[in-house]
């Protein structure tokens, strides 16, 4: 118990710069590895055939939703646990962790039923080519039914991160991603005596990696960390706990769902410009290497801010936000310069054709102007969620990705053409920046500003 108290106490006393670095770098590494996995996975599937890649691409929005529900619910649990630990309410922190694991199972059941019974119907709505429908159906069924592993591992990772344990969740992510990368070519192409499974092999590699990640998480939660006491029997759901979890987590779920809709909408705006669609796909793979480290800062700073919010330490809460935002801004400036100076080299990674480069070089340069305002929006989301104001995260994402991005893109496409449609990204981020700034000022003046005096009065 003494060691557990010491673990929580570091979030209240350790110098912010050192604490944030220790909390964020594991998340940054694991998320960057996952970004690498997404690129490598697509490269292997593309080697089967273009139709195979299309089949997996059709399923991608469903996989995004699985991650959305897993991460969104996990973020809600993470925020609630961190706030209860900051207030020294250890019993309710444990109760939140118990809810998290059971909610993960409920989320899995929803996707498993959908995949088992509606996968073929879903694929048939996108394509009438039999082998694309069959490949996509098999891929979806395996990944949705097997999503129990990723749901539990994501929830366990967030539960551990709430106490400041960032290393072991990082190891969990690495186990899953690296297993996937290793097994992809073996199961897809049938190396080392294994059967040649094609797209089914890609799905199997994903699920096996998630299974091993889950096994590691369970061992950590019950044998190594040993802080939470998860009951198998005698548990009852609390409507208040569920409300508190999804008050913070639901905006994250909806935000990722919005991202899926945004991709579908932007593809529709590009229409028959298939080369432009390919450029858009390349951009989203490349930008993950820029955005993932910043999301790692988001994850690393959130439990620190949540803990100090619960403890009533306004100065330390805002100091964490300022340090994290400064680091995010510096890294985004690096990404901006990378896209401005080396767009051709980045496109060459994907063996881009001359026509693709003609569109892509200017597109990457234009889009990269969104990186700088995005750094503020991402870190503002962290402080909203850490202080139980996650409701502001949703309109911020909606404004950036749907309400402004798609209409602006539609207008630019019809007035200036495909060469300038990419300006929609920085313009939408500027609008999102303005909203996030106004929302943060509101949260600060209504809640954070008086946090210390409220806590003292309560004492």
Residue 226 CB coordination number (10 Å): 11
Return per-residue pLDDT of the chain as tens, 459 residues: 444 545 556 767 788 888 888 888 877 887 777 777 777 777 787 777 757 776 777 777 788 889 889 988 888 888 888 888 777 777 778 878 888 888 999 999 999 999 999 999 988 876 777 888 899 899 999 999 999 999 998 888 888 877 777 677 778 888 888 898 899 999 999 898 888 999 899 999 999 999 999 999 888 877 766 676 777 777 788 888 888 888 888 877 887 788 778 877 887 787 667 678 777 777 877 888 888 889 888 888 888 888 888 888 888 889 999 999 999 999 999 999 999 999 999 888 776 778 878 999 999 999 999 999 999 998 998 888 888 787 787 788 788 888 899 999 999 999 999 999 999 999 999 999 999 999 999 988 888 887 764 443 333
Helical ranges in 311-404 per DSSP H:
314-341, 343-348, 354-367, 371-386, 393-398
**CA angle 253–255–258, rounded 5-degree value:** 115
C-alpha 289/C-alpha 28 separation (Å) is 10
What is the model's pTM?
Answer: 0.70
In this prediction, residue 187 carries a pLDDT of 94
C-alpha 437/C-alpha 223 separation (Å) is 43
Domain ranges of the chain: 1-235, 248-453
In this prediction, residue 203 carries a pLDDT of 92
Residue 429 CB coordination number (10 Å): 26
Q: Helix %, strand %, coil % for the chain, to 5?
A: 85, 0, 15
In this prediction, residue 274 carries a pLDDT of 67
In this prediction, residue 244 carries a pLDDT of 84
C-alpha 178/C-alpha 310 separation (Å) is 37
Q: If we measure between CA atoms, which residue out of 324, 34, 3 comes closest to residue 154?
A: 34
How far are the Cα atoms of 290, 294, 335, 373, 400 from residue 330, in angstroms, in the given order?
Answer: 11, 10, 9, 12, 21
Torsion of CA 281, 282, 285, 288, to 10 degrees: -110
In this prediction, residue 455 carries a pLDDT of 42
C-alpha 90/C-alpha 74 separation (Å) is 18
**CA angle 397–433–280, rounded 5-degree value:** 60
C-alpha 98/C-alpha 155 separation (Å) is 10
C-alpha 422/C-alpha 424 separation (Å) is 5
The HSE-up count of residue 343 (CA atoms within 13 Å, CB side) is 18
């Amino acid at each position: 118990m003494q060691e557990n108290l010491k673990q929580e106490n570091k979030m209240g006393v350790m110098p912010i710069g050192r604490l944030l670095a220790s909390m964020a770098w594991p998340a940054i590494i694991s998320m960057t590895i996952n970004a690498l996995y997404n690129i490598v996975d697509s490269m292997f599937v593309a080697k089967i055939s273009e139709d195979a890649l299309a089949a997996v691409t059709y399923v991608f929005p469903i996989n995004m939703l699985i991650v959305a529900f897993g991460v969104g619910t996990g973020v809600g649990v993470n925020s609630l646990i961190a706030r209860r630990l900051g207030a020294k309410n250890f019993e309710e922190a444990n109760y939140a962790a118990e809810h998290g694991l059971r909610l993960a199972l409920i989320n899995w059941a929803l996707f498993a039923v959908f995949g088992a019974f509606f996968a073929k119907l879903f694929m048939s709505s996108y394509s009438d080519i039999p082998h694309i429908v069959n490949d996509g159906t098999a891929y979806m069924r395996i990944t949705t039914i097997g999503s129990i592993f990723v749901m539990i591992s994501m929830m366990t990772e967030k539960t551990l991160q709430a106490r400041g344990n960032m290393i072991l969740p990082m190891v969990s992510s690495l186990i899953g991603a690296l297993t996937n990368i290793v097994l992809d070519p073996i199961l897809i192409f049938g190396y080392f005596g294994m059967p040649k499974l094609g797209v089914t092999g890609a799905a199997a590699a994903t699920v096996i990696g998630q299974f091993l990640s889950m096994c590691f998480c369970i061992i950590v939660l019950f044998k190594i960390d040993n802080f939470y006491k998860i009951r198998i029997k005698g548990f009852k759901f609390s409507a208040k706990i569920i409300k508190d979890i999804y008050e913070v987590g639901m905006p994250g779920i909806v935000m990722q769902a919005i991202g899926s809709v945004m991709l579908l909408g932007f593809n529709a705006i590009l229409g028959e410009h298939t080369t432009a669609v390919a450029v858009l796909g390349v951009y989203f793979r490349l930008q993950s290497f820029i955005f993932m480290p910043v999301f790692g800062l988001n994850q690393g700073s959130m439990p620190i801010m949540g803990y100090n919010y619960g403890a009533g330490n306004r100065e330390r809460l805002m100091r964490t936000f300022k340090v994290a935002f400064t680091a995010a801004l510096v890294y985004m400036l690096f990404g901006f310069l990378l896209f401005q100076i080396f767009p051709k080299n980045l496109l060459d990674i994907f063996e881009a054709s001359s026509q693709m480069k003609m569109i892509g070089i200017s597109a990457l340069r234009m889009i990269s102007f969104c990186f700088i305002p995005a750094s503020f929006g991402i870190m503002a989301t962290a402080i909203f969620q850490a202080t139980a104001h996650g409701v502001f995260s949703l309109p911020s994402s909606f404004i950036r990705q749907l309400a402004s991005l798609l209409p602006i893109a539609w207008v630019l496409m019809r007035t200036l053409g495909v060469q300038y449609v990419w300006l929609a990204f920085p313009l939408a981020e500027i609008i999102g920046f303005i909203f996030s700034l106004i929302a943060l000022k509101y949260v600060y003046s209504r809640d954070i500003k008086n946090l210390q005096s409220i806590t003292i009065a309560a004492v």
